[in-house]
Amino acid sequence: MYKQIVITGFGGQGVVLAGKIVGQAAAIVDKLESTLVQSYGPESRGGACSAQVTIADGPIYFPYIKNPDILVCMSQSGYDKQHHTLKDDGTLVIEQDLVKPVGDRDYYAVPCTRYAEEIGHKMMANIIMVGFMAGITGAISLDAARSTVEKSVPKGTEEKNLKAFERGWEHAQATLKGRRHKAAGKPGVVA
């Protein structure tokens, strides 16, 4: 197993924390190898940023990612900069209210910012995205992701963040179920 994941967005969205959670969940709970490389633009809030996470069941010799298996885009500028690097058979995951993909590549979308606002804190969009990405790709297990979220967020916010994570995970399960029904030709189902 060798998965390369790039999470991209803008400063202030919690992109690096999302990458850290994915990497720690893989290494500490799922007992896999993982690396994290983070990058920021010249501005801290509002500038481009990304997290590159490699997960493997063996040694990782090079932590930088040129062509990810999974690309998670939380901003249009991140998508514009990175979408061409995704492997042909890779998985594209987007923030549906902030990213408008071009071309005919298949993708999975979640309105994580809107969901975070509904929960009561816009800053939890990254946690919703972690839940959604984990549910869609299976790159990290549900238990690993959930327990790492709980340990990674500020004290006193664990319950809200777990609720945010569950919202993303549930949206992923509904999306996958809708696609299975659509592929089976069942009427009235929209993926």
pLDDT at 179: 86
- Picking from 51, 60, 52, the residue whose alpha carbon sits closest to that of residue 2 is 60
Tens-place pLDDT, residues 161-170 = 999 999 999 9
pLDDT at 144: 95
Q: How far apart are CA 148 and CA 44, in angstroms?
A: 25
Q: How far apart are CA 158 and CA 10, in angstroms?
A: 24
Mean local confidence (pLDDT), 127-138 = 96
Mean local confidence (pLDDT), 92-97 = 96
- Picking from 139, 10, 189, 151, the residue whose alpha carbon sits closest to that of residue 169 is 139
Mean local confidence (pLDDT), 25-34 = 95
Report whether pLDDT(58) > 90.
Answer: yes
Count the Cβ atoms, other than its own, within 10 Å of residue 51: 26
Domains in the chain (CATH in brackets) are 2-183 (3.40.920.10)
The fraction of the chain above a pLDDT of 90, given in percent, is 77
In contact, 127 and 120? CB cutoff 8 Å: no
Mean local confidence (pLDDT), 24-30 = 95
Q: Can you read off the two tokens belonging to residue 174? A: 């509904």
Collapsing DSSP to helix, strand or coil, 190 comes out as: coil
Q: How far apart are CA 6 and CA 72, in angstroms?
A: 6
Classify residue 93 as exposed, middle or buried by CB count within 10 Å of its CB (0-12, 13-18, 19+).
buried
Report whether pLDDT(20) > 60.
Answer: yes
Q: Which residue has the higher pLDDT, 90 or 178?
A: 90
